[in-house]
Amino acid sequence: MLRSAQWCLLAGVLVLGLSILNASTAETVTPSLERADVLAGMAGVGLMLVSILWTRASPRSPEAVELEGEQGFVLSSDLADTVRSELAWGSHQFLTATSAATILVFWKGSVLLRRGLLGSGDFAPGEICRRSLQKQELVSLVKTALYPGKAEFDPVLPGLPSVMVQPLGQNGWVVIGGWSERCFSRSDERWLTGWAERLKTTLTVAESESESESESVLEAEEESLI
């Protein structure tokens, strides 16, 4: 509870207690005394209610968790320059402009990017990732302690207090872990959804261009053999 809310609660309890003490020690009960007791009681209860509403309106921010891992940037080597630039730019934005501690991009069975605090395990999508893929929407775990399937994100980084999972079409995911519980805002979620759509398009276009180049090389080799 905030210090100001604590003082407000204390004042309410004090007013209510003094009104009860005053009524219990009065020798005679007069209409004016009854009115004063009612008003004092309403004032005390009102102050206590204000303290409760004050706490709900200004909740204490969750504290950051001490996460174990070394800062790093691991990028797959067999990527097109456009994909590498997109991954580097997008991950940098999340790690510097949000409460993200780590980010992982998984595409067609392989990890393309790890950045931020790095885990040591091999990531394998689990039930939560499959659910986001099936629904084609972002899944936000604001407090991973409440989710039994949180263990699937331990290879990303053990002990993550919050996680966002965004599917990349039907072929992959972006997984972002935060420093504390409830650390990601609605704008962070919208930004992740938009960037994932852009990243999916970049990956698809790069693969199409790579396939076209491969076909051109094969045709050139066949012509040279003829």
As a whole number, the mean pLDDT across the chain is 86
Could you give the dihedral angle defined by the CA atoms of residues 215, 220, 225 and 226, in that order, rounded to the nearest 10 degrees?
A: 100
Instruction: Classify domain 70-211 by CATH architecture.
Output: 2-Layer Sandwich (3.30)
Mean pLDDT of 188-213: 90
DSSP string, 90-154: HHHHHHHHSSEEEEEEEETTEEEEEEEEEP-SPP---HHHHHHHHHTS-EEES-GGG-GGGGGGT
pLDDT bracket for residue 13 (50, 70, 90): confident
> Who wins on pLDDT, 193 or 219?
193
For β-strands 162-167 and 100-107, DSSP reports them as unpaired
Does 108 or 59 have the greater pLDDT score? Answer: 108
At 83, list the tokens. Answer: 């994909």
Residue 132's closest CA among 176, 172, 101? 172
- Of 204, 174, 180, give the one whose Cα is nearest residue 90: 174
Residue 3: which pLDDT band, with cuts at 50, 70 and 90?
A: confident
Give the tens place of pLDDT for each residue, 25-45.
877 778 887 788 888 878 888
Beta-carbon count within 10 A of 98 CB: 20
* Residue 61 banded pLDDT, cuts 50, 70, 90: low
Does 160 have pLDDT greater than 80?
yes
Query: What is the spatial distance between Cα 100 and Cα 92, in angstroms, rounded to a whole number?
Result: 10
User: Of residues 35 and 170, which shows the higher confidence score?
Assistant: 170
Alpha carbon distance 65, 158 (integer Å): 11
Query: Which string of b and e fits 151-180 if b means at least 16 CB within 10 Å?
Result: ebbebbbbbbbbbbbbbbbeebbbbbbbbb
Residue-wise DSSP of 24-74: HH-SS--HHHHHHHHHHHHHHHHHHHHHHHHHHHSPPPPPPP----EEEEE
121 vs 176, residue with greater confidence: 176
What's the CA gap between 19 and 9, in Å, rounded?
Answer: 16
Please report the pLDDT score of residue 187 as a whole number.
Answer: 94
Beta strand 139-141 pairing with 162-167: antiparallel
The domain limits of the chain are 3-57, 70-211
Out of 28-32, 50-54, 87-91, the most confident range is: 87-91
